[in-house]
Amino acid sequence: MKVKITRIDKELPLPKYQTDGSVGCDLYARITTVVPPKTLVKIPTNIIIGTPKGYMFLITLRSSAPFKKGLIKANGVGIGDQDFCGPTDEYNLAVYNITDEETVVERGERIGQGIFVPVEIAEWEEVDEIKKTDRGGFGSTGHK
């Protein structure tokens, strides 16, 4: 799949798939960012992407970030829409420092991952009822 991309800082690499089996490409911090303890900060990833029609670009932290940096993704994952590709639409990672110490993310450090996920747009068909029986509500599977 060919994807249009703009790097804001041309000295930093393009997102990279680290192995032949990687489904997520690594995203790099564009600037050195200090994340104070118990604080929410955005880390710019240096890229603007033209996500192809029929896909979304899902971004998240690398799985090692909580262990190595004490950072978690503030909103779980980020969803990149197909029309989020204007000249100032740089992807950012919203991170929260769960530690009692400041954390530094260095310029050029691999901090996140991006994954292209196929999507379909729903055409809603409103009905009075979907089915006649309930499953039991939130978190109900396996609790009988």
Backbone angles phi, psi at 80, to 5 degrees: -95, 115
Model pLDDT, residue 47: 98
pTM for the full predicted model? 0.86
Best CA proximity match to 81, nearest among 23, 123, 121, 28: 121
Task: Map out the domains of the chain as residue ranges.
Answer: 4-118
Percent pLDDT > 70 in the chain is 95
pLDDT bucket at 133, cuts 50 / 70 / 90: confident
* Backbone dihedral angles phi then psi of residue 7, each to the nearest 5 degrees: -95, 130
Q: In the structure, what pLDDT confidence band is assigned to residue 142 with cuts at 50, 70 and 90?
A: low
| Sign of the alpha-carbon dihedral angle for 42, 48, 49, 55 | positive
Fold of 4-118: Deoxyuridine 5'-Triphosphate Nucleotidohydrolase; Chain A (2.70.40)
Distance CA 118, CA 53 (A): 9
Contacts of 12 (CB under 8 A, 6+ apart): 28, 30, 46, 107, 108
- Residues 33-90 have pLDDT tens digits of 999 999 999 999 999 999 999 999 999 999 999 999 999 999 888 999 999 999 999 9
